[in-house]
Structures are given as C-alpha cells and as structure tokens.
A = this chain, B = another copy of it.
Amino acid sequence: MAKTQGQRSRITTDLDFNADGKQIGYLRLPHSVHRSAYGFLAMPIAIIKNGKGPTVLSMSGNHGDEYEGQIANSKLIRGLNPKDMKGTVIVLPMANFPAAQAGMRTSPIDQGNLNRTFPGDPNGTPTWMISHFIETELMPRADLVLDLHSGGSSLNYIPSALARMGGDKKRDAKIKALLEAFAAPISYVTTALGENRTSTAAAERAGTTIIGTELGGKGTVDIDGTKVAVNGVRGILEHMGIVKETDITRKRPKTRIMEVKDVSYYVYAPHPGLFEPVVKLGATVKKGQTAGFVHFMDDPGREPVEVKFNTNGLVLCERIPGKIERGDCLFHLASDVK
C-alpha cells in the first residue's frame, strides 16, 4: 500500500478524461526545487476518445531507456483519429518522465525504478508520485493496460509480449487472446505473481487486465521491435473493438507461446570482469552448455571462468554491456509451453 494513506495524488492535468476528441497535453507533477520554486514536471499524456466503449491505457517509458513502445505510442497519439474509434485510448508515452527525458532506466531525480515502486506514494519523490497516480487514477479507468517494455540499455530481447496466467481458465483464455492479438513473435507467460511492486501487480490490485512486452533493447530503437509494437498496439485496439479490423490484424503472424519457469532459466555472472558470450540470441541451448567466459582483463595471465546454462531452452534475452559485476543477468531462456 502507498506509504501515505488517504492522500489523493498531487498530480493534476487540464485534460478532461470524459471529453470526446483528441487531447494532447501534460500531467503536472509539482516539483519545487532550487532552479524552480513553483515549477512542475510536465509529463506528456494524450486522451483520445469517441463516445462509449472500452478504455485502453497504453503506457511506455516505464523504464526511460526502453524506446520501441515510446515510438509506437508517439505514432499512436498522432495517428489515431477519434472519428474512427469507439471508446477511449489514454496514452502515457513517457511514464517515468524524468527517466525517459534522460534516456535512463531509472529517474535521475530520485533514482527510482518506476516498476519497483507501485503502489507509490502521493507524498514521495517523483517516481513514487507517478506510480501512485497510475495505480490510483489511470488504471481504474482502463479495461486494459498495455505496458510496453523492452530490454533497455543492459538487455536485448527477441520481440515478445508477456502476461501472467494464474490458472483461472476464463481469465487465462482472455489473456491468451490478447497475446494473440498483439502477435509478437514470442509471447511468454509466468504463473506466479512474483514481485508486487510492478505495473502488473498494480493492475491486478486496480482490478484491470495488463499485457506487457519486451520489444528489443540495447538502448536503441530496434526496427523490428518498433514494428511489432506499432502492429501489436493496433492489433489490441482492434481486438478490443475500439478501432476496426485492418490488414494488420487479419494477416497477423501467429505468436509462439512460451514460458519462463523459474530461476534456472537465468544465467548470472559468477565474477566481475569482461563477459565474452559464445551463444547468440535465438539459439536453442542445453543444460550444461557453455554460455560464455568471464575474462580478467587487468590480470592478463589469469584464465577466464566458464559460465554454463542451467537448463534447456531458447535464448530469449542477452546482456549487452561487456563489463559485468557478480550477479548481473547474462542470459535468460524460455521454453515452449507443453
């Protein structure tokens, strides 16, 4: 629960959540600092609405250096015509605005990783104020939340969608249909909730449905990942009945449903050093196979340490920066759902 109870968000906006048409504007997050005693952080937001119908909240920039979803949301804001819609699309393209401005995973103001701060705090520093606003003001309005992530600066993913399936058949079928509508090359599911400070946990607390993505990474705007994002968001809006079906949806590729089961799917650095991988993204690997080597560059006679995979699977995600610390995630795998 938010640390400060009974306090509404101090974030405001001039936009009207109930007005038809396309509104592009800003959330005002009060931020009184040395360089601006009465200033606010101006966080971009768009509300595109036409009459009654479902509401989709499409957010990106939860981590500021994950760009594919930000580009897709930017195109969505400019491209979506209220006349062609039924319902509401709320677009929050730079969710952790200070992080997205800086191109960082975390906020340069308070070091907050937005996806580890839900349910936030209305009296906290900006990242906590933002997660509190999203969980208490935006998510309750949405029938569906899209939270468009990528690998960011430190990771690289095969473009994927992801969601939690908890075993409730009806809900799981709904989730599966959404993943098929998004139509990423891979969709992976988890069965446990895990960390309760993420947007996923927040959406469940807020009583709505959420679909996430991992659309590339490397701190760049991945061309393929951006295409998956643009088509995926369109596919979701069509699936929700907000916009009409187009070729994008009719010809959409079939997604491969996989799962990431447990910690054995992850490979972590056993030593600090320089990591030389020997396996590429998309490869199929076996338990015990060499993943790579940790080199000790400042001790040039010392033999590198071999790193191995702990289970069988497909290499879904790889670390990018060569320099590593003990405990960095080097790879993670996925396996087909049987």
Contact = CB atoms under 8 A, between A and B. Distances in A.
Interface stretch (A158-166, A185-193, A234-242, A297-305): A297-305
A30 to B, nearest CB: 8
Contacts of A299: 44, 271
A223 interface: yes
Contacts of A332: 38
Contacts of A298: 42, 44, 94, 97, 101, 326
Nearest to A1: B4
A275 interface: yes
A301 B78 contact: yes
Interface in A171-221: 195-197, 218-221
Contact of A153 (B34, B77, B195, B277): B34
Interface stretch (A50-58, A65-73, A134-142, A247-255): A65-73
A39 interface: yes
A290 interface: no
Interface in A19-36: 24, 26, 28, 30-36
A91 B301 CA distance: 12
A127 interface: no
Given A74-B295, A322-B65, A33 B105 contact: yes
A38 B329 contact: yes
B301 A24 contact: yes
Number of copies of this chain that the complex holds: 6
A156 B7 CA distance: 31
A327 B39 contact: yes
A65 B274 CA distance: 10
Interface string A295-338: 10111110110000000000000011111011111001000000
A36 to B, nearest CB: 5
A87 interface: no
Contacts of A285: none
B274 A116 contact: no
Contact of A38 (B34, B102, B155): B155
A76 B10 CA distance: 37
A276 interface: yes
Of listed A37, A63, A101, A304, residue having the most chain B CB within 10 A:
A37
A37 B152 contact: yes
A151 to B, nearest CB: 7
Of listed A41, A93, A151, A300, residue having the most chain B CB within 10 A:
A300
A319 B67 CA distance: 14
Contacts of A88: none
Given A32-B116, A35-B154, A327-B40, A320 B78 contact: no
A34 B280 contact: no
24 contacts: A3-B3, A24-B300, A32-B116, A33-B106, A34-B153, A34-B154, A35-B321, A36-B325, A36-B327, A36-B329, A38-B328, A38-B332, A39-B325, A39-B327, A41-B327, A44-B297, A44-B299, A70-B274, A70-B295, A74-B300, A94-B297, A218-B220, A220-B277, A271-B299
